[in-house]
Amino acid sequence: MLSNFWHHISSNFWFKIYTNGVAKKFGFYRNIPEWSEVCEDVMSKITPFNQRYIPACVAHTTATMMKIEWYRRTGKIINFSPRFLDIISWTDGLPIDAGRNPNVVMELSIRVGCCTEKLLPNDSTLPLEKYRDKTIITSEMFAEAAKYRMSNLGSTVGSLW
């Protein structure tokens, strides 16, 4: 029954105009490629992070996911800073060596965004206290992060996981 519905919709004259014409011309419609179609191309452009002994696996994973999604949707490789996500996701009561809550980090990637490594390098050779120093976060970093919110791509928590 669902396949009949999609056949009806896709054969609809207005749907074809929307997906093939006017909407594409003005950028209202984004043809996001299927992961299976672009996996090899995308993965060849993604460099892995070296986390060393910094307990920031959630931030590193989220920054990598953001890089992949940003490339899939815009064709641009953006080097996001996992260190930024790690620092801003620090919630009260966590010891310096604690991990981060994946839901908090993901929510921040959607609502706040992530600055690039140009503004905050991901130097995992630093001592943990320096790597996670909250005082290094600047308003310039937050301003850049706002340009790279996952919500700018139409993403929500449910659409990413």
Residues 26 and 37 in one domain: no
Q: Domain of 36: which CATH number? A: 3.90.70.10
Q: Is the pTM value of this prediction over 0.75?
A: no
pLDDT tens digits for the chain (161 residues)?
Answer: 444 433 443 444 443 444 444 444 445 445 667 767 777 877 777 766 777 788 888 999 999 989 988 888 788 889 999 999 999 999 888 999 999 999 999 999 999 999 999 999 999 999 999 999 999 999 999 999 999 998 877 766 555 44
Query: Is the Cβ–Cβ distance between 118 and 148 less than 8 Å?
Result: no
Residues 26 and 76 in one domain: no
What was the pLDDT predicted at 3? 41
Residues 27 and 59 in one domain: no
Q: Is the dihedral angle over the CA atoms 55, 116, 39, 62 positive or is it negative?
A: positive
